[in-house]
Chain A
């Protein structure tokens, strides 16, 4: 049986800054996963990924990442790798968790 499709967000790294970014509903790249567009079916997710992928002068290596919706309907990471990407390293208070 095919596995149930989990909602997806599009994420990548910013070409100039290198940091983690997400594709938003209005086709912009944003830094906070809570503002990321969520795709509920595979077709839309892949079509949007192709669209995002065209902006290669802005970002490097976009892909689809699993997401869950919180009580307010905002996306949250599922896998621990994606969770770390929303935060930063665990040995120092650096990266997104420190607000940069």
Chain B
């Protein structure tokens, strides 16, 4: 794991002191609210519906036990005893007070953490594959690139006042677990025909009001060109991105309106100017980062007790089947801790649960934890020999729900329970869906399914790329939910299609029940997942299930 050096420490402390001073200046009137707002946002502080919200960066989702314990401490001391893990691999606190925030930031700095650039129109916290360093299919650990980008983008003087926010995601594996095609820049580690390492660079992906899948801007970018090339993209965007309309200000709109060819030419031109005087990265610094991400020393313990437990314990077997993934070392496994208990709030963990996960990481799993964009926590290196113990501890803490990748492993944004931009709630919808299908005992039968819920068109809940996407809207003063089908967040990223008119909160769960029951009828075999079945049959049969009383024509009209 990356370890802060003296510079990192000094930088983060300076930023905390600076923010403390900015808060004072806001109170004294030296800074207006308009001026203060971008400054507080750059330090992760939003003003939400009922309170401030602090979004803390967990760079590329990686943290250690000490950091997790500090997050628990902060939750108890300055918040209401819990935190919310988000689709951006961050943690959010829903109830901090403005006057306490500088102290919270100092407490974060104590464990090499911060909230810098988790919001605002700047380069946001870089995200990466949550299985990095553990995955079998990996070409390289994406976090080396992500950390380099973290340092480069932090307080970059040129890019603090961009037209809009800017998100970068990195994957080191061909299986894209970082949704790189839905980011402003997506980087995928690849090798060229001669075997040298580099990246495929995608730009212009994004969800929100105008969902778009990223396009390849450079098929192969040699490693050493990364920073000048990214700077070129950002500079072209900063100078030419639209500033007249918030909803048209992301780089995806620039790609769309300019065309990828022309934009590519501009970027390449800027790149050549930049590269001509780019001195290269300090090799010592790069090496230090690489060393910090060297794999831990794996102990190859006997897997006998794990095998025995699998054989006789059905519940354990179920959990292993769903929540445990293959590790690059055969004696190891990757455990995903579900933060989606039936009826709970997706992504929430209490301080107590955070401590349990921290203890497990420290005792059994090389002291590492990850936050996934699916709002779960990953223990990336668990010797199989310890799986039974880890499971028992998780279960005691209510953290062993065996639902990974299943219906109740729902992504849901905070929605109108917290978010001031929301048009409807999303959390209660997630809770109702999970409870209903738990009651029906259909989840296991339905199998692999991704439901994603957003409380407004900004799509923080990634609804466009859910197999079933749900978007909460305000329809004449009543919460209303639109369904999209057929989205996909993997390397074959795809935007789902809207089916028809929206549903009220009461109608929504019964409609989903009809939809999924008809899937069970329609599928060729239990191996055919909902997503596959949808792709084979198209929308019509599912539309009929959702709208049994509407004639097909009418549905079409309502959709238009």
Contact = CB atoms under 8 A, between A and B. Distances in A.
Contacts of B33: 56, 60-61
B50 A88 contact: yes
Interface string A47-88: 000000000110011000000000000000011110011001
Given A18-B98, A56-B32, A56-B33, A89 B50 contact: yes
Contacts of A81: 49, 416, 422, 474
A18 B29 contact: no
Contacts of A61: 33, 47
Contacts of A18: 47-48, 50-52, 96-98
B501 interface: no
A58 to B, nearest CB: 10
Nearest to B343: A91
B477 A16 contact: no
B418 A89 contact: yes
B425 interface: yes
Interface residues of B, number: 31
A17 B47 CA distance: 10
Contacts of B80: 92, 94
Contact of A84 (B27, B47, B99, B416): B416
Of B96, B417, B422, B478, chain A has the most CB atoms within 10 Å of the CB of: B417
A19 B50 CA distance: 5
Nearest to B34: A56
A95 B51 CA distance: 9
A80 B217 CA distance: 44
Nearest to B29: A57
B431 interface: yes
A91 B429 CA distance: 11
Contacts of A15: 26-27, 98
Contacts of A17: 51, 97-98
A79 B97 CA distance: 27
Interface SS of A by simple majority: loop
Contacts of A96: 50
A56 B431 CA distance: 39
B345 interface: yes
A94 B81 CA distance: 11
Contacts of B29: 57
A89 B97 contact: no
A92 B428 CA distance: 11
Contacts of B422: 81
Given A57-B29, A91-B417, A16 B47 contact: no
Interface in B45-87: 47-52, 80
Contacts of B534: none
A15 B26 CA distance: 10
Contacts of A95: 50-51
B427 interface: yes
A60 B47 contact: yes
B417 A84 contact: yes
A16 B50 contact: no
B95 interface: yes
A19 to B, nearest CB: 6
Nearest to A85: B49
Contacts of B431: 91
A95 B425 CA distance: 16
Contacts of B474: 80-81
B479 interface: yes
Nearest to B431: A91
A91 to B, nearest CB: 5
A26 to B, nearest CB: 24
B47 A13 contact: yes
A90 B50 contact: no
B98 A16 contact: yes
A20 B50 CA distance: 6
A61 to B, nearest CB: 7
Interface string B1-41: 00000000000000000000000001101001100000000
B475 to A, nearest CB: 11
B95 to A, nearest CB: 7
Contacts of B479: 80
A85 to B, nearest CB: 6
Contacts of A56: 32-33
B49 A84 contact: yes
Interface string A1-29: 00000000000010111111000000000
Interface string B453-495: 0000000000000000000001001110000000000000000
B97 A90 contact: no
Interface of A: 13, 15-20, 56-57, 60-61, 78-81, 84-85, 88-92, 94-96
16 contacts: A18-B50, A18-B52, A18-B97, A18-B98, A19-B51, A20-B50, A56-B32, A57-B29, A60-B47, A81-B49, A84-B417, A84-B425, A89-B50, A90-B425, A94-B80, A95-B50
The list of the 6 closest CB pairs from A to B, nearest first, reads A89-B417, A18-B52, A18-B51, A95-B50, A91-B345, A91-B427
Given A13-B47, A18-B48, A94-B94, 8 more contacts: A17-B98, A18-B50, A20-B50, A56-B32, A61-B33, A81-B474, A91-B417, A92-B345
